[in-house]
Amino acid sequence: MSMQMDGDAMEQQGAVPSQGSPVLPCAGCGGLVPDVSGPAHPYMQASPGCWQIYGGVVARWYADPLAGPAPWHHVDAYAVQHAGGAQHDRRQRQSVAVHLITLCSLLEFGQRPEAAAARRGRTSDVVLPRVGLSDWPYLEPPRRQGPVTIADLDGVRTTAEQESVAAAWFESAWAAWAEHHAVVRTWVRVLQEVHP
């Protein structure tokens, strides 16, 4: 879902929470999320309501495991849609790069979900020295994070619907970073040379 707001005309994305509940656009993904106070991720740019939705969706998936990539790649889609602040935070630059590599491995290189996820922890040690870098470069986040966000999964209950929306979310998150696809594909190829 997408709608324009008056003022700064920021595009809103995601499912609209129940009527009467105050909502706001997430500072990271732009999805409409509950306007609540509370914890958020320590370095990802996410509103507390978005972080709350993410926690609830993931808890449901662990309680009733889904087939396919959802249990393995929710973290990748969430991380790349909440990339704000990476220019000043090494952890966030690494997060963006590693999660984009994992999404690319899954979506474009046909890597099995569990194999792509398993390589996450080794990605920096394998790729950086082979491309002559000591740390991940800053990748400018897209202006819009894609039409599907974690907010679209809030309230989705059937397994088929969850798998369908999750697949659309992963595609949406990856597609939003099109400007950087070439460099990410290069990193994936380097990683595949060592860990096919």
Residue 14 · residue 1 · CB < 8 Å:
yes
94 vs 41, higher pLDDT: 94
What range defines the domain where residue 38 resides? 2-194
Instruction: Please give the Cα distance from 152 to 26 (Å, whole number).
Output: 13
- According to the model, what pLDDT value does residue 60 have? 85
DSSP 134: S
Q: What local confidence, expressed as pLDDT, does residue 20 receive? A: 60
Position 71 scores a pLDDT of 78
pLDDT at 24 over 90: yes
3-state secondary structure of 111: coil
Please give the tally of structural domains in the chain: 1
Q: Which of 60, 95, 94 is nearest to 75 (CA)?
A: 95
What is the DSSP pairing of strand 32-34 with strand 23-25?
antiparallel
pLDDT tens-digit series, residues 57-71: 988 888 877 666 777
